[in-house]
Every structure is written in C-alpha cells, then in structure tokens.
C-alpha cells in the first residue's frame, strides 16, 4: 500500500468494512493515541528542539543525500550541547 505524504495508515482504512462497535473502538484508540502523544511531547520539549534544529539545517544546507546528512547531524559530538543550549535559550 502506498501512503502519500500527510496521510496515515489509519486514514486509508475502509471505514465501511468496520462494524459500528469497531468504528467506535478505532475512534477511541485514535483519540487516546493523540492524547498520549501530546502528553509525551509536553513532557519532552527537547523533541521539538531536535526536530526544528534538524529541519532548519536541512532547509539552510539543502543536502543532496538527506540520509547521510541526518546521520552526520544526529551523530555530531557537539549535538547534545547544541540542543541543551537551545533548550536553555527557550527557557529564558
């Protein structure tokens, strides 16, 4: 199955193939997953910093090989200090 950008596997499910009970369980599962994800992200603000830092570098440098760039980006020995610095800057 091909998943296009901006869609999830759950969005490609034929909802008509599910019973009313299954549809409600799926709806509740999606709600609970979103709540759990939001709680996790609020408890870990570094996730947003990690992603924004990476995306900013991608857009500024526009690497030809994104996988190699990502590997180098996240294995940079100075990376933890850079993220910590940004987290401290955001707290001010």
User: Tens of pLDDT along 51-75?
Assistant: 999 999 999 999 999 999 999 999 9
Q: If you ran DSSP here, which 8-state letter would residue 77 be given?
A: T
Predicted pLDDT at 83? 84
Structural tokens at position 64: 């030809």
Could you say which residues of the chain have pLDDT below 70?
1-15, 90-92
Predicted pLDDT at 2? 46
Predicted pLDDT at 60? 96
pTM of this prediction?
A: 0.59
């Amino acid at each position: 199955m091909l998943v296009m950008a901006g869609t999830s596997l759950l969005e490609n499910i034929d909802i008509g193939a599910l019973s009313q009970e299954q549809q409600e369980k799926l709806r509740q599962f999606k709600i609970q997953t979103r709540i759990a994800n939001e709680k996790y992200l609020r408890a870990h603000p570094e996730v947003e910093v990690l992603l924004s830092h990476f995306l900013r570098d991608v857009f500024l440098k526009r690497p030809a090989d994104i996988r190699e760039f990502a590997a180098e980006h996240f294995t940079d020995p100075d990376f933890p200090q850079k993220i910590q610095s940004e987290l401290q800057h955001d707290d001010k």
